[in-house]
Amino acid sequence: METPEKTASRPIDFIRQIIADDLRTGKHRTTVTRFPPEPNGFLHIGHAKSICLNFGIALENNGVCHLRFDDTNPSKEEVAYVESIMRDVRWLGFDWHDKLFYASDYFPALHDYALQLIRLGKAYVCELSAEAIREYRGTLTEPGRESPWRNRSVEENLHLFERMKTGEFEEGSHVLRAKIDMASPNLNLRDPVIYRILKVPHHRTGDTWCIYPMYDYTHCLSDAIEGITHSLCTLEFEDHRPLYDWVLDTLQTPCHPQQIEFARLNLTFTVMSKRKLLQLVKEGYVDGWDDPRMLTISGLRRRGYTPAAIRNFCHEIGLGKRESWIDMTVLENAVRDDLNATAPRVMCVLDPVKVVIDNYPEEQVEEMEAVNHPQDPAMGSRMLPFSRELHIERADFMENPPAKFHRLGPGREVRLRYGYLITCTSVVKDEDGTIREIHCTYDPATRGGSTPDGRKVKGTIHWVSARHALPCQVRLYDRLFVAENPEADKDINFKQHLNPHSRICIEAAMAEPSLTDLAAGTQVQFERQGYFCADTVDSQPGKPVFNRIVTLRDTWAKTQQKIN
RNA sequence: UGGGGGAUGGUCUAAUGGUAAGGCGGCGGACUCUGACUCCGCUUAUCGGGGUUCGAAUCCCUGUCCCCCAGCCA
């Protein structure tokens, strides 16, 4: 990992406690964990929690963490997803070394185990239709009924299963089921289907198979084959643990990993399910999986989030078993924290209005030195051209400012950061009343923004020289949803809570000229505005396009709200 | 209403029979050439009712509320 984690004092979570106990008692010498995504979509911030957990445990215990694709349903899976997942895990800063696996690698072994199950009398080929199986399963309160095919002979089952494999039967006509207990109060144990016929080519095994194993059967065996010590998953699989254990207890497997469940991540003002994210992409509400408003890993990356920020976030939120909602501000804070330390400061005027310094020589240009980071001198400094005509932020001027307004107004003095102190003398307006020019005078004794006479100036504002400014496109991103929980009301479609202002494009912001050749993907702080990143897709050489990652904390905006 | 989980300030996480702690948020203040950063202060909690105990968030009983499960998805 390139960045050391924040040493936040957080007690270890219940999973790490279990692991520490297992290590201490000698149950295990080391840890083998795994991150097992299904390649049917892009990874999102919720997956990051699991990635940081599993790979983090490996790092902490000198163990290993496998990356295993759970690719047992070829009708939903694609290589493109495999590639994006590998990229995202690497980008987050984790390394699976040579431990890259696919559940599909185990199809032959899984098939052998199925044969074993049949020979044990613990699995049978069932010819009930999908609907019939559902009916036979019973309900939450009533037991199920046994399938009429449940008591076939081992030989017949073997023969039928072979015929399923060779493609003799149609999809849906036959399945292989584990023979457990149709009366079990746990529905997962009512003879679950473990193999189904799917005449679909697989992205890795091609046409080799037309029967594919189900998750519950595959996952535990894959874990056992790989020698996983702790198999960590989310709460909804708690009910599946008895089945996980049944398969491994019934078959003679090399080991029996322990499944431990934890609560998935819920974040306010977003949706997390792959299905809903896919819907946003497919229906064009966002520009793709990597739209900077998406909380996918690729979206966060394009937005400008750093891997360290995401890792710190995953660490800060903790781990437990209760359903919890993490406030979006916690994520936003994590980037602010990281970028505050690492992002160079620059100036960019988002909503420009012209300032003319009447007593400044017409053709004169001065080079003003500006430090790149006020708390980190090692980041050096740069020179900013200063001239008679500048751009400042429209919001930094008010004709009739309220008491606490520390910025420019008629007769008021303000500091131009690293520039001069200027005082507003007059204003030029259009017919419609919008301000076109602000006229000022400057104090030559305040070069660089200093006050040799020691006078205090409340306000310091950012600016760029009009002649030297780099016009650029800036996208102001905000949260995608306006509702804290867009899925809360089942009668209201989550898309009705989309934020209509989640992206505001500014076509001609004015940036300081040093930004001209900023490399795409680089994060900077626009002073007094927020953290921005040169977009990796739309930036051109010499013509960067900026994404707002997150605003700076803005206490002025808060007090302003209170005034109104 | 069967089974499996869960309930600690606004929110997230600790305390593993012995002073209910910390982060985030919020509020107030200090500092400041970013109304940023940093620093300081404040605020608010053990789901209810019984019991065991010198002592209970923790153990027992009981009640309430919330989440998950009836895919040939994972």
Does position A103 have pLDDT exceeding 50, yes or no? yes
- Cα–Cα dist A237/A324, whole Å: 17
Q: Which CATH superfamily is domain A108-215 in?
A: Glutamyl-tRNA Synthetase; Domain 3 (3.90.800.10)
Q: For position A8, what pLDDT does the model report?
A: 44
Q: Which of A247, A275, A442 is nearest to A357 (CA)?
A: A442
- Cα–Cα dist A409/A461, whole Å: 12
In this prediction, residue A6 has a pLDDT band, given cuts at 50, 70 and 90, of very low
- Cα–Cα dist A67/A52, whole Å: 12
Chain segment A308-354, per-residue pLDDT in tens: 999 999 999 999 999 999 999 999 999 999 999 999 999 999 999 99
Which nucleotide's C1' is closest to A143 (Cα)?
Answer: B2
- Cα–Cα dist A291/A285, whole Å: 10
Does position A511 have pLDDT exceeding 80, yes or no? yes
- For residue A38, what is the DSSP state? -
- Cα–Cα dist A503/A563, whole Å: 27
- For residue A102, what is the DSSP state? E
Q: Is A50 annotated as a binding residue?
A: yes
Q: Is A45 annotated as a binding residue?
A: yes
Chain segment A48-58, per-residue pLDDT in tens: 999 999 999 99
Contact between A535 and A302 (Cβ < 8 Å): yes
- Cα–Cα dist A490/A484, whole Å: 14
Q: For position A4, what pLDDT does the model report?
A: 35
Give phi and psi for A498, each to the nearest 5.
Answer: -60, 140
Q: For position A492, what pLDDT does the model report?
A: 85
Q: For position A5, what pLDDT does the model report?
A: 41
In this prediction, residue A9 has a pLDDT band, given cuts at 50, 70 and 90, of low
Does position A3 have pLDDT exceeding 60, yes or no? no
End-to-end CA distance of chain A: 47
- For residue A522, what is the DSSP state? -
Which nucleotide's C1' is closest to A70 (Cα)?
Answer: B74
Q: Which of A419, A420, A422 is nearest to A410 (CA)?
A: A422
Q: For position A561, what pLDDT does the model report?
A: 78
How far: A238 CA to B3 C1' (Å)?
A: 11
Q: Which of A195, A170, A206 is nearest to A110 (CA)?
A: A195
- Cα–Cα dist A73/A256, whole Å: 24
CATH 2.40.240.10 fits A346-465, yes or no: yes
Show Cβ contacts of residue A562 under 8 Å, excluding neighbours closer than 6 positions: none
**Torsion angle, alpha carbons of A295, A299, A300, A306, to 10:** 150
Contact between A175 and A195 (Cβ < 8 Å): yes
How far: A317 CA to B23 C1' (Å)?
A: 9
Q: Is A256 annotated as a binding residue?
A: no
Average pLDDT along chain A: 95
Among the ranges given (A2-11, A132-141, A392-401), the one the predictor scored with the smallest mean pLDDT: A2-11
SS (H, E, C) A549-563: EEECCCHHHHHHHHH
Question: Residue A178's beta-bridge partner residues?
Answer: A123
Contact between A555 and A563 (Cβ < 8 Å): no
CA distances A331 to A160, A265, A334, Å, are 53, 12, 5
Look up residue A5 and give its two tokens.
Answer: 């984690």
How far: A235 CA to B45 C1' (Å)?
A: 26
Distance of CA A296 to the CA centre of its chain: 4
CATH topology of domain A4-101+216-330: Rossmann fold (3.40.50)
Show Cβ contacts of residue A50 under 8 Å, excluding neighbours closer than 6 positions: A35, A232, A234
Average pLDDT over residues A434-444: 97
User: ipTM of this predicted complex?
Assistant: 0.95
Task: Pinpoint the residues of chain A covered by CATH 2.40.240.10.
Answer: 346-465, 470-563
Identify which has the larger pLDDT, A489 or A118: A118
Query: What DSSP letter does each residue of A193-225 carry, written as one string?
Result: EEEEE----BTTTBTS-SEEE-HHHHHHHHHHH
Closest residue by C-alpha to C1' distance, nucleotide B35: A556
Contact between A47 and A91 (Cβ < 8 Å): no
Q: Is A21 annotated as a binding residue?
A: no
Task: Pinpoint the residues of chain A covered by CATH 3.40.50.620.
Answer: 4-101+216-330
Residue whose pair of structure tokens reads 């980037």 in the numeric block: A335
Q: Is A517 annotated as a binding residue?
A: no
The residue type found at A484 is: E
Look up residue A251 and give its two tokens.
Answer: 């078959």
Which residues of A are part of the catalytic machinery? 38, 264, 274
How far: A386 CA to B14 C1' (Å)?
A: 54
- Cα–Cα dist A400/A271, whole Å: 43
Look up residue A438 and give its two tokens.
Answer: 């602000």
Question: Residue A427's beta-bridge partner residues?
Answer: A438
Which nucleotide's C1' is closest to A562 (Cα)?
Answer: B27
Q: Which of the nucleotides in strand B have any atom less than 7 Å away from a protein CB atom?
A: 1-8, 10-16, 22-27, 33-38, 66-74
Q: For position A559, what pLDDT does the model report?
A: 83
Task: Pinpoint the residues of chain A covered by CATH 3.90.800.10.
Answer: 108-215
In this prediction, residue A560 has a pLDDT band, given cuts at 50, 70 and 90, of confident
Which nucleotide's C1' is closest to A72 (Cα)?
Answer: B74
Which nucleotide's C1' is closest to A190 (Cα)?
Answer: B70
Closest residue by C-alpha to C1' distance, nucleotide B68: A236
Does position A33 have pLDDT exceeding 90, yes or no? yes
- Cα–Cα dist A66/A72, whole Å: 17
Determine the angle formed by the axes of helices A307-316 and A45-61, rounding to 10 degrees: 80
Q: What angle do CA A335, A336, A338 make, to 5 degrees?
A: 65
Query: What DSSP letter does each residue of A443-506 carry, written as one string?
Result: -GGGGGG--TT----S-EE-EEETTT-EEEEEEEE--SBSSSSTTS-TTS-GGGGB-TTSEEEE
Q: Is A456 annotated as a binding residue?
A: no
SS percent in chain A: helix, strand, coil, step 5: 30, 25, 45
- For the domain bounded by A470-563, which CATH number is listed? 2.40.240.10
- Cα–Cα dist A426/A403, whole Å: 20
How far: A48 CA to B72 C1' (Å)?
A: 30
Contact between A164 and A178 (Cβ < 8 Å): no
How far: A418 CA to B72 C1' (Å)?
A: 69
Contacts for A137-141: CB closer than 8 Å, 24+ residues apart: A137/A182, A137/A187, A137/A190, A138/A182, A138/A187, A138/A190, A140/A187
- For residue A331, what is the DSSP state? H
Average pLDDT over residues A499-514: 97
